[in-house]
Structure 1
Amino acid sequence: MTSRLPAAPIGASTPSRRTVVKAAAATTALAAPLAAAPLAHAAEGPAFLHGVASGDPLPDGVLLWTRVTPTPDAVPGSGKGPDVTVRWEVAEDRGFSRTVSSGSTTARAASDHTVKADVRGLRPATTYYFRFSVGDASPAHSPVGRTRTTPAYDATAHGVRFGVVSCANWEAGYFSAYRHLADRSELDAVLHLGDYIYEYRSGEYPAAANVVRQHEPRHEIVTLADYRVRHGVHKTDPDAQAMHAAHPVIAIWDDHEFADNTWSGGAGNHSAAEGPWAGRMAAAKQAYFEWMPVRPSTEGTVHRRIRFGGLADLHLLDLRSFRSQQAGTGSGAVDDPDRTLTGRAQLDWLQSGLTSSGAAWKLVGTSVMISPVAFGSLPAHLLTPLAELVGLPKEGLAINTDQWDGYTDDRKELLAHLRDNKIQDTVFLTGDIHMAWANNVPARAATYPLSPSVATEFVVTSVSSDNLDDMLDVAPHTVSLAAVAALKTANRHVKWLDMDSHGYGVLDVTAERAQMDYYTLSDRTDPEATSSWVRSYRTLSGTQKVERVHEPVR
């Protein structure tokens, strides 16, 4: 049975599982009033109950993160607790005999006692260890984290490997996918494609009868304190702590970091009774930047670019801050050129970056699926005239207008840009939909395969959020098989689809190919769930198509 916490990355000062679970229990004991229940271990002095993390690696640096609990009442979201000086160290070895950088910062109630250190002056493509401490005579130390810088911008990188995850619903199951990624020492980073937290009240999604562990706070999160508490609970999960301690995490948000089906002016489950949307979105963003190892943005966005030598550029998108409101299902508004998913400035930024990239591979982290999806017994090319007659999307019957399917003008422009500028080896990496897919991305789905594929897309399933079999309460890979067959018949660019599994992906990139290995979990409700490889697909350089591979990269 796999250990709950990996020995290598987090070193001798790693808290035991019992300590981590007790910290989680203490944090989740929060109730109204918010800070009524103290954190047990903080009674002994300042404590690091939420682990350590790193993210957004560069050739010469990386962002470090932790949260200190200075006093028993300084629980997340409470606004209580004194300012505390927090020291950080970066070393070449886990024992910190070869320290290469150090400094200090201040944990304040104003930032929920979270701290970040944007460390520079490091060597490219190098593994480092880091820790935090509080106190003078006998300092309290955090767990030890491991991180890694990226190759030099002009370096010839022979390979890069990412863990890829999305959609981790606390109430739906355990985060075993994180644990299995933590155990993989060869990863350069973990890419989290959104829905790191969920905003729902307890028992709303999934239904109360299927809740494995309860959200805190129990109500739908709306205020800054609410979002801080929800993030704080997630950072007590032992699997989340293990993953963050083992690898730099490169994260973008999707809707549930805010509210369901977020758009720039609202969300599907936000009402006027919950206050102005702008205030709720600002609160959610503040908590996200406090609690995630992501460099803060003055524009309040997460779109950015990270380069891995000459091998890969990773373009990360923010598809919530600038989008127009979702069109209704069956509405011809999805083709309206005045509606946008990305916003004009971000689409220009992406297209310019793709054109100017000198990297062999152009990876695009997108929180929602870009491949068009039509549903029906007829092939997509026969649905096109019917769609035009009844005012549906010209590329078929849209299932999910929250995806790029709901904003076809942005997609048409982006795919035409790839085709017209002969930009090759673009791979979209996607979460959100709680299913695993391997797709060719056609310039025009209605005439595919006569029209070319201009990119490929790998979609990873959820860590724990409900899939089709969960929603229907049926055995996996039974009822869903008919839906898979219908979707593949109507969408010839879809080469593989798994509607029922939970798990993660491992993307391995070399100059010759980009390969996604898909792994599934034995049982999301089992905290000791095992992991097994299920499928692999790759795209060879210059092909713009996916093909099945019969074994994972070793």
Structure 2
Amino acid sequence: MPSVSRRTLLKSSAALAGVGITVVAAGTAAAAPGAPAVGFAHGIASGDPLPDRVIIWTRVTPSPDAQPGSGVGASISLEWQVATDPGFATIVRSGTVTANADTDHTAKVDVTGLKPATSYHYRFTARGGAVAGQVSPVGRTRTAPANDADLARLRFGVVSCSNWEAGYFSVYRHLAQREDLDAILHLGDYIYEYGRGEYGGRNGAVRPHDPAHEIVSLADYRIRHAQYKTDPDLMDLHARLPFIATWDDHESADNSFDGGAENHNPATEGDWATRKASSTRAYFEWMPVRVTGSSTEITLYRRFQFGNLAEISMLDLRTYRDEPAASGAGWRQVDSPDRTIAGGAQMDWLTKGIVSSPARWKIVGNPVMIAPCVFPPLDTKTTAALTDMIGVPDAGIPYNTDQWDGYSADRRRLFDAITAAGVDNTVFLTGDIHTSWACDLPIDAANYPAGPTVGTEFVVPSVTSPNIDEKLGAPPRSVSVAAEEGFKAVNRHVRYVELDSHGYGVFEIATAGSQMDWFYISDPADPNAAVHHAASYRVADGAQRTFPVGAPLDPAAYRPGA
């Protein structure tokens, strides 16, 4: 069974089976039909909440020619305000920021001096140029609790893989309707880089990408980010809740690594370093993420503490990784101690953070799956001679070397450190593979369930990006079911897998245990898609193993700050 890229991976899986906030119109000047909008046409957003600060973001279009990616347009002074009420009767922080062509007329403010665990409202007002006096939509955000706060629970919406062409973002609409969430965790593939028609779903390109070609230049990435920011459901969700986001690969190019990408051709698309720098710059311009790192290297991986209950480490697993191992003779590369998925500095940061965390729960925002998924799992103590002779990895043949399975030495170092420190309650939240999984994390998959585990993993499905049934053109819940049962039979630590549906997760962290609820939408091609609860799995405090529960979390049982 060859190890393959994610797009082929979905095919091979199938083969195995045989507050009312108005967002869209506010702050945008009226324009003649077909004329480019000016003003705050891309909404507002917030993110990266800390106890005393939060990022607020917007983009202003100062004139019809100053569209995203154009590189033209006058500099505009924006007044920003943060208040404790939506009517801005009590403004607690304010200031000015300049939006200009150098930042694609985006503006981002790290608002400091705020109170912990407090809800705020924010807005921007243009103070110059042709858009003077225009006011942005009003956003709502919330700071994190104090680091020493004694918390009983937290809840997050969890999403990944939102491809504009594959459907509408009704997932975001359903999340925006909930009032029991502290923030949204976006685990990557917020945008997709493909050209028109290159990567749709069952219905082809439901709505066309801009620009029409695959995005490569800085202007391209800016235009694509801007397009996604016009989706009304995404705009609404950004206006209601802070995001804590990381990237996976499609924010730059499919199956990217430190020196290139599977979906990058240097002969026709130029130098990879230039393309990666362009995608990175556009991401930091257009996303409500805090810039961290040194003057020579901006880093995306970062950590958030929520009182004494949880610490969330968001990973970057594309910037520093070695090129994924090839199938066949290259399979043995996955065991090499010299290969890394996280890079030395990030791995050291992650390991030290988990083993020294004062929080009850250690949560990892993990762009690619960490649970072993091999065929079959092998006991390295008894099969080493055989695997060496036939030239396959020690623990078995990996299903997908783009995941942690392709970098088993890094995973082993992390798992060994967690075990040696006696740490429990480590939960990985993962996206990337468009499907839903609940897994225990065994030290030795061949000896599961008898052997020890180091944590658990919950994988959320895609918002829209195509899954197994769509790749086959088969009815949902038909041929994929056999593949799901095959995965669970061979990899017994996989407790739940669903390969067809699109949707989102709601993840609760509580003192007694943590729970993931999976919700699936009826059809990504339907802008009014309905949603239903599909499954729930829970891990008890100190247990390190998942178990199914019959009912989802009660949305009325929790309100942030209540």
More divergent stretch after superposition (205-214 vs 477-486): 205-214
Opposite residue 322 of structure 1, the aligned amino acid is Y
Opposite residue 426 of structure 1, the aligned amino acid is T
Query: Deviation per CA, 1:5-24, whole angstroms, max 9, x where unpaired?
Result: xxx152xx54359x99x99x
Percent of paired sites with the same residue: 52
More divergent stretch after superposition (198-207 vs 412-421): 198-207
- Determine if contact 1:129/1:144 at 8 Å carries over to the other structure: yes
1:366 aligns with 2:346: no
1:91 aligns with 2:83: yes
More divergent stretch after superposition (426-435 vs 137-146): 137-146
Residue number among 100, 107, 112 corresponding to 2:99 in the alignment: 107
1:71 aligns with 2:63: yes
Q: Which residue of 2 aligns with 1:263?
A: 257
Q: Which residue of 2 aligns with 1:5?
A: none
- Determine if contact 2:519/2:534 at 8 Å carries over to the other structure: yes
Q: Which residue of 2 aligns with 1:33?
A: none
Q: CA RMSD in A?
A: 2.0
Q: Which residue of 1 aligns with 2:305?
A: 307
The higher-RCO structure (CA 8 Å, 6+ apart) is 2
Q: Which residue of 1 aligns with 2:247?
A: 253
In structure 1, stretches of 5+ residues that fail to align are 1-7, 27-36
- Return the offset for 1:391: 2.0
- Return the offset for 1:119: 0.3
Separation of aligned partners in 1, 2:383 and 2:499: 25
Q: Which residue of 2 aligns with 1:290?
A: 285
Query: Deviation per CA, 1:431-450, whole angstroms, max 9, x where unpaired?
Result: 00111000000111122222
Separation of aligned partners in 1, 2:91 and 2:20: 17
Opposite residue 109 of structure 2, the aligned amino acid is A
Opposite residue 24 of structure 2, the aligned amino acid is P
Q: Which residue of 1 aligns with 2:341?
A: 341
Separation of aligned partners in 2, 1:338 and 1:508: 37
Separation of aligned partners in 1, 2:523 and 2:396: 35
Q: Where do residues 433-472 of structure 1 align in structure 2 (5 Å cutoff)?
A: 433-472=433-472
- Determine if contact 1:38/1:74 at 8 Å carries over to the other structure: no
Q: Where do residues 160-199 of structure 1 align in structure 2 (5 Å cutoff)?
A: 160-199=154-193
Q: Where do residues 531-546 of structure 1 align in structure 2 (5 Å cutoff)?
A: 531-546=531-546
1:476 aligns with 2:476: yes
- Return the offset for 1:392: 2.0
Runs of 4+ with >3 A deviation: 13-17, 378-389
- Determine if contact 1:285/1:300 at 8 Å carries over to the other structure: no
1:276 aligns with 2:274: no
Separation of aligned partners in 2, 1:275 and 1:110: 23
> Aligned to 2:222, what secondary structure does the other structure show?
helix
Q: Which residue of 1 aligns with 2:409?
A: 409
Q: Which residue of 2 aligns with 1:324?
A: 322
- Return the offset for 1:135: 2.8
- Determine if contact 2:321/2:341 at 8 Å carries over to the other structure: yes
Separation of aligned partners in 1, 2:67 and 2:127: 19
Q: Which residue of 2 aligns with 1:242?
A: 236
Query: Deviation per CA, 1:99-154, whole angstroms, max 9, x where unpaired?
Result: 11111100010000000010011111111111111137971111111000010001
Query: Deviation per CA, 1:331-351, whole angstroms, max 9, x where unpaired?
Result: 111111111000011111111
- Determine if contact 2:150/2:308 at 8 Å carries over to the other structure: yes
Separation of aligned partners in 2, 1:284 and 1:209: 28
Q: Which residue of 2 aligns with 1:211?
A: 205
- Return the offset for 1:372: 0.4
> Aligned to 2:185, what secondary structure does the other structure show?
strand
- Determine if contact 2:371/2:404 at 8 Å carries over to the other structure: yes
Q: Which residue of 1 aligns with 2:42?
A: 50
Separation of aligned partners in 2, 1:293 and 1:207: 28
- Determine if contact 1:312/1:363 at 8 Å carries over to the other structure: yes
Separation of aligned partners in 1, 2:366 and 2:465: 18
- CA gap of 1:361–1:15, structure 2 versus 1, over 3 A, is same
Q: Which residue of 2 aligns with 1:224?
A: 218
> Aligned to 1:428, what secondary structure does the other structure show?
strand
> Aligned to 1:142, what secondary structure does the other structure show?
coil
Separation of aligned partners in 2, 1:152 and 1:83: 37
Opposite residue 190 of structure 1, the aligned amino acid is I
> Aligned to 2:88, what secondary structure does the other structure show?
coil
> Aligned to 2:536, what secondary structure does the other structure show?
strand
Q: Which residue of 2 aligns with 1:156?
A: 150
- CA gap of 1:384–1:550, structure 2 versus 1, over 3 A, is farther
Query: Deviation per CA, 1:406-453, whole angstroms, max 9, x where unpaired?
Result: 000000010111111101100000000111000000111122222211
Q: Which residue of 1 aligns with 2:523?
A: 523
- Determine if contact 2:203/2:525 at 8 Å carries over to the other structure: no
Q: Which residue of 1 aligns with 2:13?
A: none
Query: Deviation per CA, 1:471-494, whole angstroms, max 9, x where unpaired?
Result: 111011110011011110110000
Separation of aligned partners in 2, 1:249 and 1:237: 16
Query: Deviation per CA, 1:46-69, whole angstroms, max 9, x where unpaired?
Result: x10001000000001100000000
Separation of aligned partners in 2, 1:434 and 1:355: 30
Separation of aligned partners in 1, 2:379 and 2:204: 41
Opposite residue 440 of structure 2, the aligned amino acid is N
TM-score, structure 2 as length reference: 0.90
Separation of aligned partners in 1, 2:25 and 2:126: 20
- Determine if contact 1:114/1:291 at 8 Å carries over to the other structure: yes
- Return the offset for 1:206: 2.3
- Determine if contact 1:379/1:489 at 8 Å carries over to the other structure: no
Opposite residue 238 of structure 2, the aligned amino acid is H
> Aligned to 2:466, what secondary structure does the other structure show?
coil
- Determine if contact 2:377/2:395 at 8 Å carries over to the other structure: no
Query: Deviation per CA, 1:287-322, whole angstroms, max 9, x where unpaired?
Result: 000000001234232100000011000011110110
> Aligned to 2:308, what secondary structure does the other structure show?
coil
Separation of aligned partners in 1, 2:116 and 2:58: 23
Separation of aligned partners in 2, 1:57 and 1:381: 44
